[in-house]
Amino acid sequence: MSLHLTYIKLQGSIPLYTHHTDVELLSSWKKGDQAAFDALYQRYAVMLLKKAYEKTGNKETAREFVQEVFLEVLERKDRLDIHTSFKAYIFTALRNRVLNYLHRQSIHHRYEVYQETRPPAMSNDVESYLSHKELTHQVSDAIQRLPEKCRQVFILSRAEELSNKEIAERSGISVNTVEQHMRKALRLLRNGLQRTPLLIIPFIFF
């Protein structure tokens, strides 16, 4: 597999920053040393790309996510507040994008299965309300409006199909907390999707 990043072009030669820490590079970049940012990009871009491709299986989507992560860092230069590490920050940003993508794909798949298996008599009612694309967009928007922890737990459950125990282990929280987040997420989504036809609700939530 050969993947190449083409979105952010590095200009000129980059000083050797091999022995500089991420903190030092971030500090230099914020003081105006663009080459320090380029060094961070070179240090992590390929790792991010491989991880994104591993999770999505789509080269273009993987490239887009990596581009978005680094562009987000660039745009937040003056207000960037990293409480862990730069590596953890960008991998978390990538992870959030991947999870949202996987959930959209999950909705797409469930809808296709639903379309194939629903009784013919139901067809006109659903199709007259929303197209597949519109429905997916509506559900995705509702999920994005969830509180961060609820959203992460919901996506891990529905997109990656993890058990509550697996979600708890991955997130570093208790199973009871996972269940609380899921109940809250489902309640908020049901309230936010009240106009969605009842025939469609099962493939979104179950």
**Residue 120, pLDDT score:** 54
Same domain? For 150 and 195 the reply is: yes
Is there a single domain that holds both residue 103 and residue 75? no
Last residue of a domain, one of 81, 112, 130: 81
Q: Residue 62 pLDDT > 50, yes or no?
A: yes
φ and ψ at 156, to 5 degrees? -60, -35
Q: Using the 3D structure, point to which of 22, 57, 81 is the last residue of a domain.
A: 81
One domain for residues 196 and 116: yes
Q: Rounded to whole angstroms, how far apart are CA atoms 168 and 175?
A: 5
Give me the half-sphere count of Cα atoms (radius 13 Å) on the Cβ side of residue 197.
Answer: 16
Q: How far, in Å, CA of 206 to CA of 204, rounded?
A: 6
User: Could you tell me the pLDDT band of residue 135, with boundaries at 50, 70 and 90?
Assistant: low
Q: Please indicate, yes or no, if residue 86 is contained in any of the structural domains.
A: no
**Whole-structure pTM value:** 0.55
Q: Residue 9 — very low, low, confident or very high, per pLDDT cuts 50/70/90?
A: very low
Question: Which of 30-34, 131-135, 138-142, 186-190 has maximum average pLDDT?
Answer: 30-34
62/165 Cα distance (integer angstroms):
29
Which one is predicted more confidently, 83 or 19? 19
pLDDT tier at 17, thresholds 50, 70, 90: confident
The total number of structural domains that make up the chain: 2
In a domain, 42, yes or no: yes
**Model pLDDT, residue 45:** 93
Give the per-residue pLDDT at 117: 56
Pair 96, 77 in one domain: no
Using the CB atoms, write b or e for 9-33: b if 16+ within 10 Å: eeeeeeeebeebebeebbebbeeee
* Parent domain of 8: 1-81
* Mean pLDDT of all residues in 40-45: 92
Domain boundary pick from 81, 107, 127: 81
The pLDDT, as a whole number, for residue 139 is: 73
Check whether residue 96 and residue 178 sit in a common domain.
yes
Q: 129 with 193: CB under 8 angstroms?
A: no
- Residues 113, 57: one domain? no
Quick one: pLDDT at residue 94? 92
